[in-house]
Amino acid sequence: MPDPILIFELVLRGVAIGALIATAAGVHRGASTLGMRVASALFFASVVAYALNSTPATHNALGPFLPVVHVLSMGGSGLFWMFVVTLFEDRRPDWPLFAPALVLLGVGFFGLSVQPPLRNGIWVAHNLLEVSLAAHVLIVIRRSWRGDLVEARRRMRGPFMAFVTLFTIVLAGFEIAEEGLGVFAWWFRLAGAGALAVFSVAGAAWFLEAREGLFGASLAGEGQHAAPEASDGADRAILDRLETTMSAGEGWRREGLTIGALAEEVGAPEHRLRRLINDRLGHRNFAAFVNARRIEAARRALADPAQALRPVSAIAFDLGFGSLGPFNRAFKEETGETPTQWRRRALAEGAPIPENPR
């Protein structure tokens, strides 16, 4: 007679996998960029792999698929981190964003290559790395909250933070107890499957309900700041004042410029300015809106032979960047090259200096 507890566990894991597949399909349809599709596909595949790999009932039946499932499962927290950074900070999933997943894989394979009790210690370290990544996920979600211009994404941040915290505590607790400390109870895997099912179904509800706002394409496209027609005279007046502040006043040069400070200067409620920049100008976060101006100015400076000997860092600071790292990242995301590479090519080719932004 089949074990009813095992059957219930498999049902819960099946519910989780079904919800994950449905969410992955919805995100794929709604995502506006290839990067978002890649990051989300890898993340959801890693959670499905974890659901299959974390119980002997399915682990032993994977056959030739076991190595792939095992790799995705071990690097899952790193892929989740990459998904969150891509989703909430609109980053492209370039190779540096794969680093956490690769580190987890390295630690995991090392753990498989040694014998207990060293193996147990390695797996505890692996789980602690996963917890550390989850903590950094919370930092990522929190730090870009104020500058988020997508209302659906702003509303989602609070529940998402609670979700990440609870999910990490529950699953990491079970894994550390079982794999690291050798403590096991009959209900561990059942409880883990239940938690996975609840979180997967809840995640499906959140993601699919807000799919268009979370993953939809920008209306005007990132990097554009010409104001299209507003819906009414009041919106048009706000956009005109915004354009004056950002162009004639060069408000984008101010280090640490915030959406709140800009709204006060423009004379508009912050929530209304946020909506206009997102809906009318096509930017999904405030940093991208400001950096579009800064990168245009950087391209002009880097292509200017008269500034050929000026350090890149000096240009970055003059344009309002607080440090060189964010400038390099923003510039490469916009142009596909580092500032140094772009300057070398532009000066060698005698590229014309771009016109000033409007």
Alpha-carbon distance of 272 to 264, in angstroms, equals 12
The answer to whether residue 274 scores a pLDDT higher than 90 is: yes
Backbone angles phi, psi at 97, to 5 degrees: -75, -15
The residues, any chain, with a CB within 8 Å of residue 40's CB and separated by 6 or more, are: 24, 27, 28, 31, 83, 86, 87
End residue of a domain, out of 188, 215, 242: 215
Are residues 258 and 178 located together in one domain of the fold?
no
Residue 344: domain span: 233-349
Are residues 172 and 287 located together in one domain of the fold?
no
End residue of a domain, out of 215, 250, 273: 215
Tokens of 242: 């915004």
DSSP 150: -
Flag whether the pTM goes above 0.95. Answer: no
Alpha-carbon distance of 303 to 106, in angstroms, equals 42
The residues, any chain, with a CB within 8 Å of residue 348's CB and separated by 6 or more, are: none
- Asked if 302 contacts 259 with a C-beta cutoff of 8 angstroms, the reply is no
The more confident residue out of 225 and 136 is 136
| Residue 293: pLDDT band with limits 50, 70, 90 | very high
Q: What pLDDT is recorded for position 30?
A: 78
Are residues 298 and 167 located together in one domain of the fold?
no
Look up the CATH number of the domain holding residue 202: 1.20.1070
Indicate whether 355 belongs to any domain.
no
Alpha-carbon distance of 65 to 59, in angstroms, equals 10
Average pLDDT, the chain: 84
Are residues 59 and 200 located together in one domain of the fold?
yes
Q: Of 39, 33, 74, 34, whose CA–CA distance to 53 is shortest?
A: 74
DSSP 220: S
Alpha-carbon distance of 259 to 170, in angstroms, equals 37
The more confident residue out of 133 and 169 is 133
- Asked if 277 contacts 149 with a C-beta cutoff of 8 angstroms, the reply is yes
Looking at the structure of the chain, the number of domains it has is 2
- Asked if 77 contacts 47 with a C-beta cutoff of 8 angstroms, the reply is no
> Which pLDDT tens digit goes with each residue over 26-43?
888 878 788 888 999 999
